Amino acid sequence: MVGVMKWERGKKRGEEEEEETRRGGKEERRGRRKENKEGRKEEEKQKEEEGKQRAAATPVTVLCTSVELQSNRAAGHRVTALDMASCGADTKPLDQVHSIVHYHQPLTDFMASIAAHGRVVLVGHSFGGIGVSLAMERFPRTISVAIFATAMMPSLMFRRLDSMMDCRATLDQGPDSSPSTFIFGPMFLASKVYQCCQPEDLTLATMLVRPGKPFGEDMSREIMVSEENYGSVSRVYIVSKEDELMKEDFQHWIIENNPPREVREIHGSDHMPMLSKPQELCCCLLDIADRYD
> What does the pLDDT look like over 231-264, one tens digit per residue?
999 999 999 999 999 999 999 999 998 899 999 9
Residue in 272, 34, 19, 276 with CA at minimum distance from that of residue 151: 272
Distance (Å, rounded) from C-alpha 118 to C-alpha 116? 6
% of residues, the chain, pLDDT over 90: 35
Tell me phi and psi for residue 95, to 5 degrees.
-70, -5
- The pLDDT, as a whole number, for residue 35 is 66
Residue in 191, 192, 167, 193 with CA at minimum distance from that of residue 181: 167
pLDDT, tens digit (0-9, with 9 covering 90-100), for 52-61: 444 444 454 5
- The pLDDT, as a whole number, for residue 217 is 56
- The pLDDT, as a whole number, for residue 263 is 97
- What is this structure's pTM? 0.69
Say which amino acid occupies 132.
V
pLDDT band at 1 (very low <50, low <70, confident <90, very high): very low
pLDDT, tens digit (0-9, with 9 covering 90-100), for 102-117: 888 999 999 998 877 7
Residue in 51, 58, 108 with CA at minimum distance from that of residue 78: 58
- Lowest-confidence region among 110-114, 138-142, 209-213: 209-213
Distance (Å, rounded) from C-alpha 106 to C-alpha 57? 25
Instruction: Quote the crossing angle between the two packed helices 128-138 and 105-114, to the nearest 10°.
Output: 40
Which overall architecture, per CATH, does domain 60-291 show? Answer: 3-Layer(aba) Sandwich (3.40)
- The pLDDT, as a whole number, for residue 232 is 94
- The pLDDT, as a whole number, for residue 49 is 55
- The pLDDT, as a whole number, for residue 93 is 86
**Residue 21: pLDDT above 90?**
no
Active site positions, annotated: 126, 243, 271
Average pLDDT over residues 62-81: 62
**Residue 69: pLDDT above 90?**
no
- The pLDDT, as a whole number, for residue 183 is 87
- The pLDDT, as a whole number, for residue 11 is 47
Residue in 117, 124, 176 with CA at minimum distance from that of residue 146: 124
- The pLDDT, as a whole number, for residue 168 is 85
Which stretches within 63-114 are classed as H helix? 69-74, 100-103, 105-114
pLDDT, tens digit (0-9, with 9 covering 90-100), for 161-200: 557 788 888 777 666 666 778 788 999 899 999 999 999 9
